[in-house]
């Protein structure tokens, strides 16, 4: 197929934009393994900064991963049934509830954190726990899980699937877990990818809610750059990519796999 000048212009623009985004990331990663960040690679390579970051911030890095995974579990348990109810029982009340559910996304993270501090800040054990940060992350990411799952459920005929399964003797919970959930898998995987990504990278909300003992990865990264330790901050960024990128790539692969069309159409009888 012959390609015209417009195609090559678009290709060139895409490459330039990709380089504009990727080059700073690569330069930051290289700065984390150079002896002198101002001299660049000519000063030599070292793992000193990476070991220093791990010694100082290992707890923050592991805490961020733990909070992200816990947030994923909570949003799955709460978000998938909520999406089902919103799709299965449309009406004025569900629309009002859906709008209220998206409020944490519409308001600034600092405002949401301030509301949590005013409401629950007096509970000392809860305030100083990582569960306090988890609460804020769940409020912020839950709408993304619900919207992703609800979009997929709305595209399929839930009523027909449930009626077919019920005619074969399946109860509600069996219909939900063996018919609805498998068909909503693409939305669940896409929502899970967004939840993990947003939870790990959330800064504004976490900065207000954290304590010295519950400092997460983005807060520690901001502290490193604020202290003008560019090599430490760059090493922090490199560790972040090494730990997080494999997880995100794996989840993205699962999401893409779930979107592939099946060779044969599953029916309620096949599922049961």
Contacts with 268 (C-beta within 8 Å, 6 or more apart), sequence order: 161, 164, 165, 167, 168, 170, 179
The pTM of this model reads 0.77
- For the stretch 213-237, pLDDT in tens is 888 888 877 777 776 677 777 787 7
Q: Give the C-alpha separation, 96 to 99, whole Å.
A: 5
Give the whole-number percent of the chain exceeding pLDDT 70.
89
**Residue 47 token pair:** 């793992």
Which domains does the chain show, CATH number per domain? 48-271 (1.10.3720.10)
Residue 75 has pLDDT above 90, yes or no: yes
Residue 48 has pLDDT above 60, yes or no: yes
As a whole number of Å, the end-to-end CA separation of the chain is 47
């Amino acid at each position: 197929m012959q390609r015209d000048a417009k195609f090559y212009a678009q290709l060139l623009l895409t490459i330039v934009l990709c380089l504009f985004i990727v080059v700073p990331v690569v330069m930051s990663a290289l700065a984390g393994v150079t002896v002198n960040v101002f001299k660049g690679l000519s000063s030599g390579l070292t793992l000193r900064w990476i070991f220093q970051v791990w010694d100082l911030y290992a707890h923050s890095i592991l805490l961020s991963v733990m909070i992200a995974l816990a947030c994923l579990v909570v949003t799955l348990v709460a978000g998938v049934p909520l999406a089902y109810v919103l799709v299965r029982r449309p009406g004025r009340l569900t629309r009002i509830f859906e709008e209220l559910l998206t409020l944490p996304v519409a308001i600034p993270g600092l405002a949401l954190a301030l509301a949590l501090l005013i409401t629950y800040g007096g509970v000392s054990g809860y305030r100083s726990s990582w569960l306090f940060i988890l609460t804020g992350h769940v409020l912020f990411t839950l709408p993304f899980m619900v919207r992703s799952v609800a979009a997929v459920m709305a595209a399929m005929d839930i009523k027909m699937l449930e009626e077919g399964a019920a005619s074969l003797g399946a109860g509600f919970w069996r219909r939900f877990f063996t018919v609805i959930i498998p068909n909503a898998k693409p939305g669940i995987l896409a929502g899970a990818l967004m939840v993990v990504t947003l939870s790990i990278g959330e800064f504004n909300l976490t900065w207000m809610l954290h304590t010295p003992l519950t400092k997460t990865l983005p807060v520690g990264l901001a502290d490193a750059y604020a202290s003008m330790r560019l090599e430490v901050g760059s090493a922090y960024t490199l560790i972040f990519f090494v730990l997080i990128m494999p997880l995100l790539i794996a989840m993205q692969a699962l999401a893409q796999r779930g979107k592939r069309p099946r060779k044969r159409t599953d029916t309620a009888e096949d599922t049961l």
